[in-house]
Amino acid sequence: MVGIIERYRHLWQLGDVQEVVTLGEGRTPLIPVRPPWPQGRGPTVWGKLEGCNPTGSFKDRGMTVAMTMARAAGKRVALCASTGNTAASAAAYAARAGMRAVVVIPGGKVAPGKLLQVQAHGALLLEVEGAFDVALAALRRAMESQPDWELVNSVNPWRILGQESAAYEIVEDLGRAPDLLVIPVGNAGNITAYHRGFRRLGVKPPRFIGGQAEGAASMVEGRDIEHPETVASAIRIGKPVSRQFAQEAVRETHGAFVAVSDREILEAQAALAHQGIFVEPASATPYAVLGKLWRQGELPMDSNLVVTLIFTGHGLKDSDTALRNFLPRRAHWDGVPSTLAALVQGEVEHV
């Protein structure tokens, strides 16, 4: 089966829509993660690699449904405001659907890989002054009375519905819901989707821990942030549209919102990269949050507990930040075998 619509539409009400717009999203790996505490104790930690989706982020799960329904309704243009990943996904799925895409981004603040994707798929890129929230508000005003246009931000209910599928997959893989689920929160659509996903299956949902960057900690602080700032540009969002649903998810499951510093986020990105998992800074937030909870003694060190971290986007998306976070390790080799042997021996001893 190709894509989440084919696999899960029996749970949804999509009507008799026949032509599905898909790039084969979903079925992302859930792999063991070396925890940020000394190994051999505490909960088991799993990471869901959402960067393995077709455009490298979880956005594709919602975009396949939003674009399928938009095309079926005769819409011709898909529009979104975005910190980058929604834009990349909208561009790809619109291209697939034979529709036009127009993406509005905060000028100068979107990672290069995401801009490249928008360009590759032929979408129109519009830059506005100000953060994501300004872009979305302006776009929503401009959308009024445009019958051929479809807004594919997470205010589009099909987006959230599609993103529920990640929760279904976790339950399939684990045989139950995890005890704790740690997820980055920007506009708060994805945490809402996971919560609905577990509820739709009728399983006991995990405790939801929403991770945010200190400079954009709207949920942690319980207020809008006028000028959000963080190295994790994907979650540089100050006025989460789904604030109320995210609050419900956390309140109902006795979870929490936790903020981490940019430094902690970059350290988490490095710790993950050094175990082979390359995620963008926003997606390293759950690992940073887990480390912080453990250091503060707020995480039960119970080996029966299962924690799932949601790694929302691929590390290749934000090469600029990664190139600053990871120093190159290079040496000159003169082509002589004995020199190479010495270099390799050095590597074996390198810790």
- Contacting residue, 85, 156, 253, 269, with ligand AN7 by CB under 6 A: 85
Buried b (16+ CB within 10 A) or exposed e, 247-281: bebbeebebbbbbbebebbbbbbebbbeeebbbbb
Site string for ligand AN7, 42-71 (x = CB under 6 A): ---------------x--------------
* Binding of ligand AN7 by 211 (CB under 6 A): no
- Among the listed ranges 94-102, 169-177, 276-284, 301-309, the one in contact with ligand AN7 (CB under 6 A) is 276-284
Nearer to ligand AN7, 84 or 205 (CB): 84
Instruction: Select from 106, 113, 178, 189 the one that contacts ligand AN7 (CB under 6 A).
Output: 189
Q: How many CB atoms lie within 10 A of CB 325?
A: 18
Q: For residues 42 and 313, which CB has a smaller minimum distance to ligand AN7 in the complex?
A: 313
Only one of the segments 32-40, 171-179, 186-194, 297-305 lies at the binding site for ligand AN7 (rule: CB under 6 A); that segment is 186-194
Give yes or no for residue 291 binding ligand AN7 (CB under 6 A).
no
Window 90-129: contact mask with ligand AN7 (x via CB under 6 A)? ----------------------------------------
Given the complex with ligand AN7, which of 151 and 188 has the nearer CB atom?
Answer: 188
CB 62 within 8 A of CB 160: yes
Specify burial of residue 14 (Cβ count, 10 A radius: 0-12, 13-18, 19+).
Answer: middle
Binding mask 150-179 for ligand AN7 (x = CB under 6 A): ----x-------------------------
Among 82, 117, 230, 308, binds ligand AN7 (CB under 6 A): 82
Please state the closest distance from residue 112 (CB atom) to ligand AN7, in A.
14
Residues with Cβ within 8 Å of 15's Cβ and at least 6 positions away in sequence, in order, are none
Nearer to ligand AN7, 235 or 293 (CB): 235
Q: Please identify, among the stretches 169-177, 277-285, 301-309, 337-345, the one whose residues bind ligand AN7 according to the rule CB under 6 A.
A: 277-285
Residues linked to residue 194 through DSSP beta bridges, in sequence order: none
CA 122 to mean position of chain CA atoms: 23
In angstroms, what is the minimal distance from the CB of 59 to ligand AN7?
6
Residues 6+ apart with CB under 8 A from 24: 2, 3, 54
Residue among 156, 187, 218, 253 that touches ligand AN7 (CB under 6 A):
187
Encoded one letter per residue, x for contact with ligand AN7 by CB under 6 A and - for no contact, window 214-253 reads --------------------xx------------------
Beta bridge partners of 311: 49
Residue from the set 280, 291, 292, 315 that interacts with ligand AN7 by CB under 6 A: 280
Which range binds ligand AN7 by CB under 6 A, 23-31, 142-150, 184-192, 266-274?
Answer: 184-192
Structure tokens given for 215:
């400079």
- From the CB of 75, what's the least distance to ligand AN7, in Å? 20
Region of 254 (left: φ > 0; alpha: ψ -120 to 50; beta: rest) is left
Binding footprint of ligand AN7 on the chain (CB under 6 A) = 57, 82-86, 154, 184-190, 234-235, 280, 282-283, 312-313
